[in-house]
Structure 1
Amino acid sequence: MSVQVSPEELEEYRDFAVEVATKAGEMIKKAFYKTKTVTNKGSGVDPVTETDKAVEKWVIGFIKERYPEHRFIGEETTDLDAPFDFRDDLTWIVDPIDGTNNFVHNVPEVAFSMGLTANKKVIVGVVNLPVLDLMYTSMKGHGSYCNGRKLVTGSVEELKKSIVIYDTSVLRTPWNVDTVLKNVRNIITKTHGLRTYGTAAVHCCKMAEGHAQAFVEYGLYCWDFVAGLLIAQEAGVHVMDPDGGPCDLMGHRILMGCTAKVANELSAMITHHKMHRP
């Protein structure tokens, strides 16, 4: 049976997500200026800090207290070696710190990302950049906002006139590294330029704001882009899988364009990565 969410409940959930993101942001900002304790999850390029763990632990407890019947998927408490138990139920999907490498190196593009799904579709998305004092919010069918300002993506009609966001920290197998270099060359020679900010949540918000006109990223988990996906869509961004089909929250990749034409041009121009995720 599908989950039904009333307009009043939708607004309640959005307000709750903002409340959580605000508190989590305070925790992140306080820790940002302190010495961090860093460990790695399987490789030297996937760090985790005590703040990642502390924020997620607090969020889980707060959600259970307010909505004990809701489900939860979080980066630091999910088994990455097995398929996720993703259901139609109301599910909060959280990345306590998206951009942990930025956090470790004191780069201010650090985000708390929180999305709510119902029937496996995103209905609420909140991304907080506490160091930069930017709060992005969105509800399905109600637009996207940054600090209360309504967002509308750009309107460029050609990829060659676009700024493209392409994250180069994808899985670093030799094949993927070669693919990154090939794609970077294509992007910088055939567009207005390439940008990368080290966090998929921020990349999605940049698209929503019109700061870039195309974006593609591989090697993601659902918590990296669940909130940003809705924020971008509600601002008018065309969202799809890099191969051209619908974007799958469990598909580990995403492609966006300010228009469908730009998105399809980027899809056709790049070499797609080989992903090995559960």
Structure 2
Amino acid sequence: MADERELDACYEFAKKLVLDAGKVIAEAIDKDKITESKGIDWDLVTEYDRKVEDVLIKSLSNEYPTHKFIGEETVAREGRLPELTDEPTWIIDPIDGTANFVHRFPLTCISVALLLNKVTEIGIVYNPISDQLFTARRGRGAFLNGRAIATSRVKDLIQALVAMEPWIAKNEHYRANVYRRMHAVIQGTHGIRSLGTAALTLCYVAMGAVEAYHVESVDSWDVAAGKLIIEEAGGVVIDTNGGKLDLMTPRVIAACNKDMADQLVQLFKDTISISLDENLM
């Protein structure tokens, strides 16, 4: 399925489907929501996560019966992460920013990506509350509500607005790194922001609203669509250590350009060196 006309059809079908599914979220935002824990107290799921994912997967399956799917709620139900193959695969997050949704904080979105041969060909991220539709096709640019977008031209980290997610420090495994890195970012940049949704924050890097974003302890469905949107807008998405991002276990540095990404990588490496020096004192 490498035919451009087929990809065009997939893109148009998925875009309409995401816009329709967004109505479920927009209509539900002011209602009382039924929530339950996934076993981690900061990772909530609502009946609407399931409803949106079921609608997306059912409709896509009917249209493309041979395609595979990796979805947040499906993985949660099955208790395992499927292997990413070369087959056409949709990676879906029905509601990214579920905690925001539960608290009626208006930064929440649907994220849908289509991969062929493990390469993302289509990325769609939609915030139905503010009616922001971010889209990208590989090699064709990135768009917000049909208007072309581009990343910031800032190249000096000290002038950058950088997004991070401090709530990840609730996980003891990430706590020390989060605190060290946040301190370094606060001291070494123009400012820091936390939006509570990885997919939407990646899109804000793509549109130039923030220069960079760092997050770990996320999954492929948080990143797959936004990564393509950033790259098509002129930015880069790499691993925290500076190498190629592993989409299935993403440790993300997303930036408006390579200079900015490299500076963040070095900043985080410096925090490790400083920590080791302090321990030796």
Superposition TM-score, scaled by structure 1 size = 0.93
Partner of 2:193: 195
- What are the ranges of 5 or more consecutive residues in structure 2 without an aligned counterpart? 273-281
Partner of 1:223: 221
CA distance in 1, matches of 2:7, 2:139: 10
Q: Is the 8 A contact 2:18 2:56 kept in 1?
A: no
CA distance in 2, matches of 1:126, 1:108: 18
SS in 2 for 1:116: strand
Deviation of 1:81 after TM superposition, in Å, equals 5.0
1:258 to 237, 256, 278: 256
CA distance in 2, matches of 1:157, 1:229: 19
Partner of 1:7: 4
Q: Is the 8 A contact 1:14 1:138 kept in 2?
A: no
Deviation of 1:84 after TM superposition, in Å, equals 2.2
SS in 1 for 2:92: strand
CA distance in 1, matches of 2:250, 2:39: 18
2:50 to 50, 53, 59: 53
User: Percentage identity across aligned positions?
Assistant: 36
CA distance in 2, matches of 1:61, 1:10: 19
SS in 2 for 1:124: strand
**Deviations 1:188-210 (Å, cap 9, x if unpaired)?**
11100101110111111000000
Partner of 1:125: 123
1:37 to 30, 34, 38: 34
Q: Higher helix fraction: Structure 1 or Structure 2? A: 2
Partner of 1:177: 175
Partner of 2:149: 151
SS in 2 for 1:78: helix
AA aligned to 2:187 is T
CA distance in 1, matches of 2:204, 2:218: 17
CA distance in 1, matches of 2:172, 2:42: 15
- What are the ranges of 5 or more consecutive residues in structure 1 without an aligned counterpart? 274-278
SS in 1 for 2:124: strand
Name the count of aligned residue pairs.
Answer: 270
Task: Specify which structure has the bigger relative contact order, considering alpha-carbon pairs within 8 angstroms and separated by 6 or more residues.
Answer: 1
SS in 1 for 2:166: coil
Deviation of 1:10 after TM superposition, in Å, equals 1.7
2:60 to 33, 43, 63: 63
What CA RMSD, in Å, does the superposition of the two structures yield over aligned residues? 1.6
CA distance in 2, matches of 1:158, 1:43: 37
**Deviations 1:108-141 (Å, cap 9, x if unpaired)?**
1010000000001100000010000111111000
Alignment of 1:234-253 (within 5 A): 234-253=232-251
Q: 1:134 and 2:107 equivalent?
A: no
CA distance in 1, matches of 2:193, 2:208: 13
Deviation of 1:184 after TM superposition, in Å, equals 1.4
**Deviations 1:159-186 (Å, cap 9, x if unpaired)?**
1111111112226233522322221111
